[in-house]
Amino acid sequence: MLKQNLSLKLQQKLSPQQIQLMKMLQLPTVELEQRVKDELSENPALEEGEERDDAETAAEENTESLDQQENEQDDDRDDIDLSDYFDDDTPDYKLQVQNKGRDEEERETPLAGGNTFQDILRSQLALRDIDERTQLLGEHLIGNLDEDGYLRRELDAIVNDLAFTANVTTTTEDLEAALKEVQALDPAGVGARDLRECLLLQLRRLPHAAETLTARAIVDKHFDAFTKKHYDRIMERLEIDEDALKDAIAEIMRLNPKPGNTGRDSDKPVQEIVPDFIINTVDGQLELQLNGRNTPELRVSRQYREMIAEYQRNKKDPAAQDALVFLKQKLDSAKWFIDAIKQRQHTLLVTMEAIMEHQRDFFLTGDETRLKPMILKDIAEKVRMDISTVSRVANSKYVQTNYGTILLKFFFSESLTNQEGEEVSTREVKKILKDAIEAEVKKNPLTDEELTELLKGKGYNIARRTVAKYREALKIAPTNLRKAL
């Protein structure tokens, strides 16, 4: 049975402008610049430049009118009819070509220059003294190499691929022969199926010196013990002393574990970090300023305002009404965008001031151990904003200090209570932990239990599993993998 009734309902809902403001708030400086350029190109009611009052605008218009009159007088004096110098009566439409329809998009495909890593390998393979079938199989294997230069797929799977996709019948033995030809190409180690084979391929090309032969024996026969750094077991089985083992390990460490990336690092674009804030220390005081690129000078077009006033006089005209609606939409959008930029600047400055005051000792000294525990909630309570707003400000933002350009997230950390009952930052504990590991004797590295006792001796009551968690967060290997001769 259907019924109709009236009810009141109260709910919170974000407007489209608020959603866009939140998105703009988390943009870093470089992306904000692009966002401003996009808005300028899409909205003709928005212009670059400072907002001016009516007096300045009138003075500028008078100056422009005088300049225009002078230019018109010059044009009258220098008016020359250039048509007398041309006797070509060919119509313009015969000099143009249009092979596309009006509704068809003009798309240009960018062309990439240079040769890929696979192209270089194929060109080398073509120079080898092999038959056509081996070359065909070798080219297919090259196409299956990953970005590190490894062949991760099983040969049985590649046999099936050749049969179904290229209608080529082959065997794993034929692919093994073709793979040997690929592995003979440069750089050494390409075409390997795992790290052990990659290192062996490189060692086999080196001169047969004593350290090279020992290194080959370690990688070939004792690779598992080598990865686990069981050096005593290797010396015992190979019957060598510690100096010979050191020379062999040095030879192995000079090898390239990713031959496919040999020339790729230099081709990577360098990403410039643009700081959003700048903090300077002047006479023991901190001075905060927003990067000037975060404060674009924008104004609403005066011409659009005049057009709205003109169309309002002709409201009865349907075309004028449609134009008036369009102009008002563009004008309101321009005003909102300018207000959103100003609100973004205010929010960034207020939030960064709270962070700077909370971490004042660090900004004055640059000592990580002076960092105080700080979470998003602490700053949100100080600036009286939502935690999500503070999170957006801290996301992907950098601050330039006297001690380098630092990501804002660096200053946020949990708290830890020491033996004196004071709350200290976990980053302070991590810094002490990192310094202790860097200063340890590599032949006998500190265990997690020893690190725990060391921290307790400094007044930090901390469990061993917490030490292990902090060590993993610092990307420091466990004790057995830090061991070195």
Q: For 226-240, how does the pLDDT look when each residue is reduced to its tens digit (9 = 90+)?
A: 888 888 898 989 888
- Looking at the chain, the domain(s) classified CATH 1.10.10.60 span 415-482
pLDDT at residue 446, rounded to an integer: 87
52: left (phi over 0), alpha (psi -120 to 50) or beta: beta
Sign of the alpha-carbon dihedral angle for 220, 223, 225, 229: positive
Given a contact cutoff of 8 angstroms between Cβ atoms, the answer to whether 425 and 413 are in contact is yes
pLDDT at residue 264, rounded to an integer: 53
Cα–Cα distance for residue pair 207/213, rounded to 1 Å = 9
pLDDT at residue 459, rounded to an integer: 84
Q: Maximum CA pair distance of the chain?
A: 103
Cα–Cα distance for residue pair 462/466, rounded to 1 Å = 7
Pairing of strands 277-282, 415-417: unpaired
Cα–Cα distance for residue pair 136/134, rounded to 1 Å = 5
The superfamily CATH assigns to domain 415-482 is Homeodomain-like (1.10.10.60)
Which portions of the chain are predicted below pLDDT 50?
56-61, 63-66, 76-87, 95, 97, 102-107, 109, 265-266
Tokens of 411: 């200053």
pLDDT at residue 196, rounded to an integer: 92
Cα–Cα distance for residue pair 204/213, rounded to 1 Å = 9
pLDDT at residue 190, rounded to an integer: 92
pLDDT at residue 113, rounded to an integer: 53
Tell me the β-bridge partners of 285. 282
What value, to the nearest 5°, has the Cα angle with vertex 177 and ends 173 and 178? 115
pLDDT at residue 1, rounded to an integer: 64
Question: How far are the Cα atoms of 65, 302, 426 from residue 310, in angstroms, in the given order?
Answer: 21, 13, 65
Identify the H or E element spanning 443. none
300: left (phi over 0), alpha (psi -120 to 50) or beta: beta
For residue 144, the 8-state DSSP code is T
Q: How many CA atoms lie within 13 A of 61 on its CB side?
A: 9
Q: For 258-286, how does the pLDDT look when each residue is reduced to its tens digit (9 = 90+)?
A: 888 765 544 555 567 889 999 998 888 99
Nearest 10 degrees: CA dihedral of 278, 279, 281, 282? 60
